[in-house]
Amino acid sequence: MVNIGVDYYPEHWDESLWEKDAELMKTAGVKTVRIAEFAWCRIEPRENEFDFGWLDKAVKIFAERDIDVVLCTPTNCPPLWLYEKYPDSLQWTRDSKPIATGIRGHRCYNSPSLRRLSERVIVKLAEHYKDEPAVIAWQIDNELDAVHCCCPTCTEKFRNFVMSKYGSLPEVNSAYGNVVWSGEYSSETQIIPPLGSYELAWYNPAYMLDWFRFCKESVNDFVRFQADLIRSVIPDAKITTNTWLCDKTPDFHEMFKPLDFVSYDNYPQTKLPDDPEELYSHAFHLDLMRGIKRKNFWIMEQLSGVQGCWMPMLTTPKPGMIKGYSMQAIAHGADKVIHFRWRSAAKGAEMFWHGLIDQSNKPSRRFGEFTELCAEVRRLEIPENAVVNNKVAILYSSEQESALQIQPQTNGFHYYNQLKSFHDGLTALGIGCDIISEKADFSGYRVVIAPTLFITDENVSKRLHRFTEKGGVCVITNRSGVKDDNNGCIMSPLPTVYSDMTGCKVAEFDAVGRDSVKIKMGGSDYRVSQWCDILELCGAESLAEYAERFYAGLPCVTRNSFGEGICYYAGTIGERKFYKDLMKQVLSTAGIEYVDDLPQNVEITVRETNEEKFTFIFNNNGEQIGVEYCGENFILMPFECRVLKSRKG
Amino acid sequence: MVNIGVDYYPEHWDESLWEKDAELMKTAGVKTVRIAEFAWCRIEPRENEFDFGWLDKAVKIFAERDIDVVLCTPTNCPPLWLYEKYPDSLQWTRDSKPIATGIRGHRCYNSPSLRRLSERVIVKLAEHYKDEPAVIAWQIDNELDAVHCCCPTCTEKFRNFVMSKYGSLPEVNSAYGNVVWSGEYSSETQIIPPLGSYELAWYNPAYMLDWFRFCKESVNDFVRFQADLIRSVIPDAKITTNTWLCDKTPDFHEMFKPLDFVSYDNYPQTKLPDDPEELYSHAFHLDLMRGIKRKNFWIMEQLSGVQGCWMPMLTTPKPGMIKGYSMQAIAHGADKVIHFRWRSAAKGAEMFWHGLIDQSNKPSRRFGEFTELCAEVRRLEIPENAVVNNKVAILYSSEQESALQIQPQTNGFHYYNQLKSFHDGLTALGIGCDIISEKADFSGYRVVIAPTLFITDENVSKRLHRFTEKGGVCVITNRSGVKDDNNGCIMSPLPTVYSDMTGCKVAEFDAVGRDSVKIKMGGSDYRVSQWCDILELCGAESLAEYAERFYAGLPCVTRNSFGEGICYYAGTIGERKFYKDLMKQVLSTAGIEYVDDLPQNVEITVRETNEEKFTFIFNNNGEQIGVEYCGENFILMPFECRVLKSRKG
Amino acid sequence: MVNIGVDYYPEHWDESLWEKDAELMKTAGVKTVRIAEFAWCRIEPRENEFDFGWLDKAVKIFAERDIDVVLCTPTNCPPLWLYEKYPDSLQWTRDSKPIATGIRGHRCYNSPSLRRLSERVIVKLAEHYKDEPAVIAWQIDNELDAVHCCCPTCTEKFRNFVMSKYGSLPEVNSAYGNVVWSGEYSSETQIIPPLGSYELAWYNPAYMLDWFRFCKESVNDFVRFQADLIRSVIPDAKITTNTWLCDKTPDFHEMFKPLDFVSYDNYPQTKLPDDPEELYSHAFHLDLMRGIKRKNFWIMEQLSGVQGCWMPMLTTPKPGMIKGYSMQAIAHGADKVIHFRWRSAAKGAEMFWHGLIDQSNKPSRRFGEFTELCAEVRRLEIPENAVVNNKVAILYSSEQESALQIQPQTNGFHYYNQLKSFHDGLTALGIGCDIISEKADFSGYRVVIAPTLFITDENVSKRLHRFTEKGGVCVITNRSGVKDDNNGCIMSPLPTVYSDMTGCKVAEFDAVGRDSVKIKMGGSDYRVSQWCDILELCGAESLAEYAERFYAGLPCVTRNSFGEGICYYAGTIGERKFYKDLMKQVLSTAGIEYVDDLPQNVEITVRETNEEKFTFIFNNNGEQIGVEYCGENFILMPFECRVLKSRKG
């Protein structure tokens, strides 16, 4: 059954508190705890001296109360003695120097010393707990990101990565176009990480994309290395890592391949946006996480209190948020929602990232809401095999994200917002969707939305063609088909490989940035910004035209029949209602029914088994709201999530 | 008698100008000059070769005209030969590298070489002038700040500081909570300064507070070292250092302990703020300076012209400011106001930090105002034993300032503004107050305002309890009692150790940042922002309640009887009129009469001896204004300070 | 005849494209190509192994089609093998470390290795092409800037530069005023570049100005070195370098002395400014370029498409801009307009800096406009000896620019804007002007406008006096005569050496920054900002007075008779219409007729030979506009440039 947990740090608290805490957890309805991800210095206080006594005691206290334990490998924070003795364990900055220690996450994934000492502690840990039934899952490291380490080991590995990919220097030079600015490699020693303080866009984009790929592969390899170690001791261990959205995101799809399930650290913002155009629905991230393995996932860290620490503190979660945002996660496929953290730290830099209980150790409003949550989840009895089934997919690709980070297209243009806009349009119509890899199987979907296919993967292109030809509805956008797999420009009219599907070509474009331009679609006006493809029809019909600038009257959105299917092309980036209205047409084309009069920010999601159906109606607003759904009328309180449970006919 | 002076740099000017300058000073009424704080390269042009000839000549020129001399130790700027020969004299940055020379203030206070060479030059200087009666006081260095030097010497000293404070590594680890993020020290060598480019808030706050303490102690020790040297030659020397408000403020109270009096560099802003909520009254800083030793002080550098240099130039002092801001300083306890500087430099980086006379050497409007000032001060004959006596104190603490710099609480929250708000409220009611150390004696005060007692000093807490119990009126605010002395959180409901006094507890808080929330106090509405403590009454009465958000109706300001006294608690941060209205209640409780109808920015201050009373009425406005005070009506011109002199009955 | 060209990179494209491209160029009307400025790694792929085969082929293809070739020395981008083998070839940053390679322009101009290897490749190149008639000119390097290299070689050279300028350390110390902040040099080893991360204004301004001079001299020397090498092989080579406006501008006048003509990279902004006060006319830059040698010049790179790359992409050139901005360049004296670039790069960091043809290789709207341009220029038959003759000059000085970069005067104050304001006022009245060196000959001009003569060159001052005495009309502004040649303040009332000419003195000034102040001139009101000189008349008459602040009623603009001439003084910085109205008075004084009713942003320029006259009427607006000129009425389309060709009577 879906259940609720907390993150707990026995090593942060006096032992006298452990039993009291566990007792209160039990009373509140906590079923899972995650522990030990930062505890290396206690597990191995001196090199090769291990101490599991304290951890045994903690695990036992939970086990005795039927609270399951998620155990972590502690590699995020090697102890100071390790850095001191094995300085090659440190990441190097773009200044070619080791980073300063004293915070967290300083280790280089490729460091031989780090690997060797990680292996020892992981194996010891796994061996020690392999027969402990309370340990139901393993977390690798913590919030891994694809750091750009410039240490000698990484330099050497990157060089090998490049050479083994291309085979010879002439091939590398040709693939990268190194002749531009006279940068051709004449010796392998010239292949180094991007040092210096230049903006990313100053570097050769082909080289940079390979550098990003290498850095992401380093994380993947570190994950594989750890998963293999755990499985070498516990063959049937259930293993994950808790991922997040950060500056240097890993390749979620590749990173989780060797792992059993996805887990995510979910911190929805506590302040609703002032700008009604801001795309704030974190449901997008939940769908992205579910899409990685197209399976249910866990929340390993969930919003529990005031956030702060390295930033000034933010507004407290409003009444309803603690419960509502957990329910929203469950609605989108979370099988466990583990709250970060049981009690706010009294020491250390993270003390103002508040938990369910404040340092006063006096449970208050937020904890009350949490216990209500536990009770409701227990009452609902949602089986873990209740899954989310959608007919619409949005394609995500780590490649596109990196390429667009390297070369931002215009002011205000963000890859994620491209995806979020469509997700938002669908959500506004009560339609759930999956965010899946562009390399995933498209079968089962009626609509595939493929925003910003900037880097062209031939296979993806082929499969999209096939999907549409066979009757699917496909949506392609501006900045698609721009680049080949080496991040070089494809030398044919945009959207290049997609032109046949879209039935239109980009005659030219206007990168308008934060300025806006009026368009007309079906009798209504919309504002678009950032990017304006000026389209030439070659078979498609125009759905919308610009109403300003020198391209007034020319098409910006088109529809084309391709085989048995339909391909839409959106050559510009619009306001929220543009996506809602565009999605209506797309869904109608695909024969998918939608809810037209859903109040703003109310989200409808369904999880189902063969027998049962759970419909989640979530009010993601600070005010109460009346909703009519399937003939029933509800009043939803702020952030309330109403769950309708029904048996299937 | 209180008098007026100037800062003068004989070494910057051709000798032919010295006598003319001194003659004009005499005519204008200058009584004091400060000299030589940057003259090391002229006093000791080559190692161990000293030249006092030029300085003797300058001192003689002043002495002959009855102008007193303040002589400075020149340690702020060691000569280039010293840095070159003794590179350990340089501060190191957080990158573990010596800072680049060529500007000023590069020396490391703890450097053995710097200490050795400073000792020689200071002793030589003191010996040379010990019998010169014109030299009435000594200034140590210049604008000392608690720089964060990361050099090997400082690293070693910091390590010793930590180890001798805690005794053993386990004690350090426990005090800091180093287990968080696995940062436990397993060897003393791991105790190092905070290197790298991380935000302050990323470091362990306990460790960081100790680092700040160490850096402040390094300044204190450097001051003691110099004071001892001067006194070893001239036992009755009057010694100060000119302090200022900077990024890394020293601990004023500790730094001045070995010194005879406080001096301050006073640069009120020349542009009145556009935002009427901005707290710009520099009277706050003057009261802070007087509070350090609870004695009169000197202004060592006073606003004299257009400011500029490392920033673009700013608007010129408006007519009245040169005179008015000096009189304001005297009103608040300055016994000498030394203007920076006689004439603007014609060379060097500081040339656009203008003096009384421009580089043209043609005295103009500002100089005219300055001579009026000299005449008025001479006419007033204010004795140096005329002191400021107040019944209200505001507590200041360098500990709180550092701790809140390390961990900013929320957007817009500044420690100084917390104090200034109360100071501003009192000023608006014509009430003077002292800004004193939280460790100072509270006796003699009827009201003690203790804003943001973030770090808890048990002794302070005890003395505040005692003060209130015995009939005092105390004001406590949000973010009090949060931390123990190690900058770890106190594990009981806020305001923890003050809860009994306040009669209320913080049920939870909302860190609203720059957003604002309406409250109601006594029938009026106010906007508050940054921080909202939601209070639970345990004996106190509510004086104000929130009128918005989920905590509408709940108390934010309370009053509680404690022993024979009264304790107010202000759980939020309001606009200016909130503090004025709150102070009315506080003053009434304390039986202190205030002026209710004082025009905005008009300040009333009193200095008195046993026989005489000087009442300063200062118009800190750009327009003339009518004031009624004690039955008399005045018209005050912009920035005019009217002084009423009366004999005590 | 004036003609049109393109920048082409054979090395970026498959050889199969070369002939097709050249053929299309010929059809379109291209007469010139520039090639090879970044091709060192192809010309010398390994040390001392040269390959001219590919370049011969490319040159031949152009030669066969009567397309002239500009050949470049490839020194901007040495190959990686050179940096690797000769690390002294790299610039060093202010952190005393070599900069990271991988972008472009990393070479140190003074590096012995760089010089030696540059010499070899330049001589080889010149020898190889000395007899190739298609090569009509040589470009040295690319977009040279006066980088601040802190490498050991530059340090040594800077030290020698300083020592040979002043002769001895006491002279240096005295010239710099090093005694301030005790910075006197006691050893030559202390003379080093400005290391560290301080703001420029923190350094001694005299030292810094010498440092800027040295860095500019390093560029000049590098240019002389290359020009000499080329001429040693091809005595009659026509040599230039393509200059630009950058952060560290070279001294245009000195740098071009050894060269035959000026060429400029011209990228007018594609978005018209939102703020009507913004001075955006790039005509100013064109006049600046023509003024360097007071001869016609070339555009070596001209706006051709969407700009982007290291910045997000910008709005596309509006219809008319491709043609119009080229015509504008010709109007101001360009004899060739070479467009950057033929086709957008498909690889490398610069791919989004778009050319005339997109990567699709499908010529579109912009290319269509380009071919119209080629046709019109061919039709007009403008001889290269058609020159621009003006009666008004504005003085520019690289010294002033550097000095004001080192010490910004107040918020919003920019040296270029000081010049542009006058240029804009003249343009609005249909009056062309030359931007010339302050060291150039003033004869032939009726009006000389000399904005911000901050650093005083005695010779300039004398010549301005003479020019005015003999009947010229001169305009002097605020911040003139402030500094001597060593960047120290002149110790007499401002504008010091110009006071006799201006007949007024600056009693004091107010650096108001971005605030604004009302003034009155001739019955009209204007807003001024940044700087307010408060003037004392000593012979001059007042033309305008302040209408606000404490100096209301006092003069800010004056006119004075001096000898047979007239000297205006503008003591403040006004809005656009202030300059237009002031220029009317100045032009009337000088007896120059102007056009009073020219529509906003319409520019009139004349080129003439002894026989012919070409009048260019350019509509620098996004809307069509009606213009009356010399009795004729035109409708000008957006960015249209109408050329009236007439034979001289």
Looking up residue C533, the CATH number of its domain turns out to be 3.40.50.880
Of A314, A345, A365, the CB nearest to B180: A345
pLDDT-derived band at A630, boundaries 50, 70, 90: confident
**Residues B439, B344 within the same domain:** no
Of B204, B491, B512, the CB nearest to A349: B204
**B 289-308 residues with CB below 8 A of C?**
306, 308
Question: What local confidence, expressed as pLDDT, does residue B302 receive?
Answer: 98
Chain A residues touching B488 at Cβ < 8 A: 346-347, 351
Of B270, B310, B364, give the one whose Cα is nearest residue C533.
Answer: B364
**Residues C425, C506 within the same domain:** yes
Question: What local confidence, expressed as pLDDT, does residue B311 receive?
Answer: 83
First to last CA, chain B: 22
Of A482, A487, A556, give the one whose Cα is nearest residue A516.
Answer: A556
CB pair distance less than 8 Å for C550 and B362 = no
CB pair distance less than 8 Å for B104 and C181 = yes
- Rounded to a whole number, what is the largest CA-CA distance in chain B? 75
Of B167, B257, B266, B182, give the one whose Cα is nearest residue B221.
Answer: B257
CB pair distance less than 8 Å for A102 and B203 = yes
Average pLDDT of chain B?
97
Residue B504 lies in a domain: yes
* B93 in contact with chain A, both atoms CB, cutoff 8 A: no
Chain C residues touching A493 at Cβ < 8 A: 360, 362
- Which is more confidently placed, B311 or A129? A129
* C17 in contact with chain A, both atoms CB, cutoff 8 A: no
Chain C residues touching B344 at Cβ < 8 A: 489
* A478 in contact with chain C, both atoms CB, cutoff 8 A: no
Residue B180 lies in a domain: no
Residue A81 has pLDDT above 80, yes or no: yes
**Residues C636, C507 within the same domain:** no
**Residues B568, B621 within the same domain:** no
pLDDT in tens, B439-495: 999 999 999 999 999 999 999 999 999 999 999 999 999 999 999 999 999 999 999
Which of these three, B358, B380, B402, is where a domain ends? B380
Give the residue from chain C lying closest to A201, CA to CA.
C310
Residue B649 has pLDDT above 90, yes or no: no
Residue A280 has pLDDT above 80, yes or no: no
Those chains having 3 or more beta-carbon pairs within 8 angstroms of chain C are A, B
**Residues C318, C264 within the same domain:** yes
Of C598, C38, C134, give the one whose Cα is nearest residue C348.
Answer: C38
pLDDT in tens, C289-318: 999 999 999 999 999 999 998 889 999 999
3-class SS of residue A430: coil
CB pair distance less than 8 Å for C39 and A408 = no
* A509 in contact with chain C, both atoms CB, cutoff 8 A: yes
- Mutant choice from C314, C351, C637 vs A, greatest count of A C-beta within 10 A: C351
Residue C169 lies in a domain: no
Q: Is the peptide bond before C495 cis (omega within 30 degrees of 0)?
A: yes
**Residues B368, B436 within the same domain:** no
Q: Is the peptide bond before B495 cis (omega within 30 degrees of 0)?
A: yes
Residues in Cβ contact with A165 at an 8 Å cutoff, skipping those fewer than 6 apart? A210
User: What beta strand segments (E) does C8-47 contain?
Assistant: 32-35
pLDDT in tens, B503-519: 999 999 999 999 999 99
* C47 in contact with chain A, both atoms CB, cutoff 8 A: no
| Residue B139 Cα, gap to closest chain C Cα (Å) | 16
3-class SS of residue B20: helix
Which one of the listed residues A143, A217, A350, A399 is annotated catalytic? Answer: A143
ipTM of model? 0.96
Give the residue from chain B lying closest to A312, CA to CA.
B410
Residue C477 lies in a domain: yes
Residue B471 lies in a domain: yes
Chain A residues touching C319 at Cβ < 8 A: 550
Residue B569 lies in a domain: yes
Q: Is the peptide bond before A224 cis (omega within 30 degrees of 0)?
A: no
Average pLDDT over residues C461-472: 98
* A201 in contact with chain C, both atoms CB, cutoff 8 A: yes
- DSSP secondary structure code for residue A181 in this structure: G
Residue C649 has pLDDT above 80, yes or no: no
Residue A29 lies in a domain: yes
By the 8 A CB rule, do C483 and C494 touch?
no
Question: What local confidence, expressed as pLDDT, does residue B310 receive?
Answer: 82
Which of these three, A345, A380, A415, is where a domain ends? A380
The answer to whether residue A372 is catalytic is no
The DSSP bridge partners found for residue A413 are: none
Those chains having 3 or more beta-carbon pairs within 8 angstroms of chain B are A, C
Provide the b/e sequence for C615-649 (b: ≥16 CB within 10 Å): bbbbbbbbeebebebeeeeeebebbbbbbeeeeee
| Residue B619 Cα, gap to closest chain A Cα (Å) | 37
| Residue B43 Cα, gap to closest chain C Cα (Å) | 10
Residue B546 lies in a domain: yes
Average pLDDT over residues C428-441: 97
Q: Strand pairing of A612-619 and A602-608? A: antiparallel
Residue A210 has pLDDT above 80, yes or no: yes
Cα separation, B2 vs B337, in Å, equals 8
Question: What local confidence, expressed as pLDDT, does residue B89 receive?
Answer: 98
By the 8 A CB rule, do B425 and A329 touch?
no
* C489 in contact with chain A, both atoms CB, cutoff 8 A: no
Of C190, C205, C489, the CB nearest to B359: C489
Give the angle C514-C516-C520 at the CA atoms, nearest 5°. Answer: 150
Residue the block writes with tokens 């905590």: B551
**Residues B367, B396 within the same domain:** no
Cα separation, B220 vs B232, in Å, equals 18
Q: Which residues of C are the active-site residues?
A: 143, 301
Of A352, C7, C291, C43, give the one whose Cα is nearest residue B454.
Answer: A352
Provide the b/e sequence for B61-98 (b: ≥16 CB within 10 Å): bbbebebbbbbbbbbbbbbbbbbeebebbbbbbeebeb
Cα separation, C105 vs C222, in Å, equals 14
pLDDT in tens, C324-348: 999 999 999 999 999 999 999 999 9
* A198 in contact with chain C, both atoms CB, cutoff 8 A: yes
**Residues B412, B543 within the same domain:** yes
- DSSP secondary structure code for residue A335 in this structure: E
Query: How is B356-368 classified by DSSP, letter by letter?
Result: SB-TT----HHHH
| Residue B342 Cα, gap to closest chain C Cα (Å) | 14
Give the residue from chain A lying closest to B413, CA to CA.
A312
Question: What local confidence, expressed as pLDDT, does residue C631 receive?
Answer: 85
Q: Which residues of B are the active-site residues?
A: 143, 301
CB pair distance less than 8 Å for A194 and C344 = no
**Residues B584, B624 within the same domain:** no
Chain B residues touching A102 at Cβ < 8 A: 183, 192, 194-196, 198, 203-204
pLDDT in tens, A320-329: 999 999 999 9
| Residue A274 Cα, gap to closest chain B Cα (Å) | 11
**Residues B535, B620 within the same domain:** no
Of C411, C493, C508, the CB nearest to B365: C508
**What domain count does chain B have?**
3
Chain A residues touching C349 at Cβ < 8 A: 180-181, 201-205
Element housing A556 (H / E): strand A555-562
Question: What local confidence, expressed as pLDDT, does residue B282 receive?
Answer: 87
Those chains having 3 or more beta-carbon pairs within 8 angstroms of chain A are B, C
| Residue B479 Cα, gap to closest chain A Cα (Å) | 12
CB pair distance less than 8 Å for C102 and A203 = yes
- Percent of the residues in chain A that have a pLDDT greater than 70, as a whole number: 100
| Residue B506 Cα, gap to closest chain A Cα (Å) | 10
Chain C residues touching A489 at Cβ < 8 A: 344-347, 351, 359
Of A39, A310, A360, the CB nearest to B491: A360
- Please classify residue C48 by burial: count the beta carbons closer than 10 Å to its beta carbon, then call 0-12 exposed, 13-18 middle and 19+ buried: exposed
pLDDT in tens, B611-644: 999 999 999 999 999 999 888 898 999 999 999 9
Provide the b/e sequence for C516-548 (b: ≥16 CB within 10 Å): bbebebeeeebebbbbbbbbbeeebebbbbbbe
- Please classify residue B399 by burial: count the beta carbons closer than 10 Å to its beta carbon, then call 0-12 exposed, 13-18 middle and 19+ buried: buried
The DSSP bridge partners found for residue B435 are: B394
Residue A266 has pLDDT above 80, yes or no: yes
CB pair distance less than 8 Å for B42 and C205 = no
CB pair distance less than 8 Å for A409 and C312 = yes
Give the residue from chain A lying closest to B488, CA to CA.
A347
* A179 in contact with chain C, both atoms CB, cutoff 8 A: yes
- Mutant choice from B173, B178, B200, B491 vs A, greatest count of A C-beta within 10 A: B491
Range of the domain at A642: 602-647
Question: What local confidence, expressed as pLDDT, does residue A392 receive?
Answer: 98
CB pair distance less than 8 Å for B313 and C189 = no
CA separation (Å) from A412 to A495, A515, A545, C311, C312?
21, 10, 22, 12, 9
| Residue A639 Cα, gap to closest chain B Cα (Å) | 13
CB pair distance less than 8 Å for C40 and A182 = yes
Provide the b/e sequence for B480-504 (b: ≥16 CB within 10 Å): bbbbbebbbbbbebbbbbbbebbbb
pLDDT in tens, A408-455: 999 999 999 999 999 999 999 999 999 999 999 999 999 999 999 999
Which of these three, C380, C415, C430, is where a domain ends? C380
**Residues A477, A358 within the same domain:** no
Cα separation, B394 vs B389, in Å, equals 14
Average pLDDT over residues B383-412: 97
**Residues B529, B609 within the same domain:** no
Question: What local confidence, expressed as pLDDT, does residue B121 receive?
Answer: 98
pLDDT-derived band at A521, boundaries 50, 70, 90: very high
CB pair distance less than 8 Å for A179 and C361 = no
